[in-house]
Structure 1
């Protein structure tokens, strides 16, 4: 077992305080531009869609506008499909998969659905290729009332207006090698606990909602993605990241209980995608294409079974 002593910040067995968080924050550096990679792309879509600034992150001296792409000719009688990406800023294909879908495929659903696409929930973390926000908080465990994460609270406020109309919500993620080398050790150090090493699954998989399982929906998404990239097999224990595999490429979490993004609405169909960008069998382009295939399959299934 690896202990928190393996992480360079903090005292083993002692949760972080303000000093340790400040030390961690000082180590974070900006690697890429949210403006160039996300906002500039969204700007090219303004002629086709409403672009909504649904909040701003205030992390002095920086602020980040939070934007979503929304169907312009919104019709309340149509089902709403919600696509989110970049809840974890380091999970690159989630952000670019959401944008690619908006650029190349969203128009095919005009007049059939109301689309809402929030491509980058965590822009500060996107720029720093990190999982947490500057307060060392994971937004994807913070989608709950009185959220401690600005990112999560802003999305919850935005979605409140139409949340009961959402039929399908797909949240786009990655599982990376750095989960095991950086982010899980950091989590263990932050919380003052021991880290139990785990295997990183090689391939694409989905997380279904254990409180509202939709096996046919999950399998339709898996089947579409399998045409683009490989599906993660179960490990020797019949699990993926410590959870039992309930169907090929599918595990389950209680989404609302854990404060996960995919649990923010009462949608009938919900899923979280997980792509493995470090696989020798997959390129960055394949990972983006897999996210797009997942979004399209999720919407198509929800429409066919509405």
Structure 2
């Protein structure tokens, strides 16, 4: 049933124009530092891995000075084209904290274990402006995770696609690290309905970890290996009253399907055989921030081990 919930920007039933997007942007407050949290952590890895700036996002409008953010990637130092290549991405949605810190921790604590066995490419924070604002959208009120497509209007999405373009055909797996939070229901979904001039349809936030597999290329054994590893760290989301999770049918324990390429999702950009989007639930009374990061690390390790096996 449609809700009469009123979002405080725009006119119900009318899609936002530039003025409403600017009004939304003016409400966003910087709450943490990409330089302190991410760039400093990446710099500490430089003596063990190849580190590169793969692009820069720059934003400006009449109410804001220019803001620029370098986009960082970390590569295995012993890169060998004969080995399988795995892409790990975090922070496509900047507010999904454990994805960013899970990617960084994986590199710091575990990536060396796979030297000479697999090529690792890690983009730990795809959307730094949103990371600082603890936001899902970018500066332009666009969801990067619906804009991984040719001619993308999202700078973050376009930059990541340029990074991986020379490696297409080499990827064995791509694991994209996300969270589902209570603010998805209290803020983001009402905001997207208001932005697009559509009614807000209330939904249920799942309590626990789950995975999104690709409708066009399901890999149930890969997903099961990740679920098996993660459930040792945190709990797996059960099905809701309709037998699904976030409106999609449950196809296995903790697994749903999305049409990744059709929806413009990050996990659909490589053409890899094995792809998965992780979804941690940080607002659960049964999970701590540390467990959420550990769950992301466990997911990546399990995915890499599956590829190597």
Q: 1:100 corresponds to which residue? A: 105
Cα shift readout 1:144-198 (whole Å, capped 9, x = no counterpart): 0000100000000000011210101000000000000000000000000001100
Please state how far the C-alpha of 1:2 moved relative to its aligned partner.
4.9
Q: Which residue, 62, 87, 96 being the options, matches 1:91?
A: 96
How do residues 216-231 of structure 1 correspond to structure 2 at under 5 angstroms? 216-231=221-236
Q: 2:126 corresponds to which residue? A: 121
Task: Assess if the C-alpha contact under 8 Å between 1:122 and 1:133 holds in 2.
Answer: yes
SS of the equivalent of 1:160 reads: helix
- TM-score by structure 1 length? 0.98
CA distance in 1, matches of 2:29, 2:301: 35
Cα shift readout 1:115-161 (whole Å, capped 9, x = no counterpart): 00000000000000000011100000000000010000000000001
Task: Assess if the C-alpha contact under 8 Å between 1:4 and 1:193 holds in 2.
Answer: no
Q: Which residue, 263, 270, 290 being the options, matches 2:268?
A: 263
Structure 1 runs of 4+ with >3 Å offset: 1-5
CA distance in 2, matches of 1:74, 1:220: 26
SS of the equivalent of 1:25 reads: helix
CA distance in 1, matches of 2:271, 2:15: 34
Q: 1:148 corresponds to which residue? A: 153
Q: 1:288 corresponds to which residue? A: 293
Task: Assess if the C-alpha contact under 8 Å between 1:4 and 1:11 holds in 2.
Answer: no
CA distance in 2, matches of 1:36, 1:258: 33
CA distance in 2, matches of 1:203, 1:283: 12
Tell me if 1:188 matches 2:193.
Answer: yes
Structure 1: give runs of 5+ residues left out of the alignment. none
Please state how far the C-alpha of 1:3 moved relative to its aligned partner.
4.2
Please state how far the C-alpha of 1:72 moved relative to its aligned partner.
1.5
Task: Assess if the C-alpha contact under 8 Å between 2:5 and 2:190 holds in 1.
Answer: no
Cα shift readout 1:247-271 (whole Å, capped 9, x = no counterpart): 0000000100000000001100000
Task: Assess if the C-alpha contact under 8 Å between 1:233 and 1:249 holds in 2.
Answer: yes
CA distance in 2, matches of 1:69, 1:33: 20
How do residues 171-186 of structure 1 correspond to structure 2 at under 5 angstroms? 171-186=176-191
CA distance in 1, matches of 2:222, 2:274: 7
CA distance in 1, matches of 2:89, 2:4: 32
- TM-score by structure 2 length? 0.97
Cα shift readout 1:89-114 (whole Å, capped 9, x = no counterpart): 00000000000001100000000011
How many matched pairs? 304
CA distance in 1, matches of 2:130, 2:53: 18
Q: 2:302 corresponds to which residue? A: 297
Q: Which residue, 64, 67, 72 being the options, matches 1:62?
A: 67
* Cα RMSD, aligned residues only: 0.8
Task: Assess if the C-alpha contact under 8 Å between 2:92 and 2:126 holds in 1.
Answer: yes
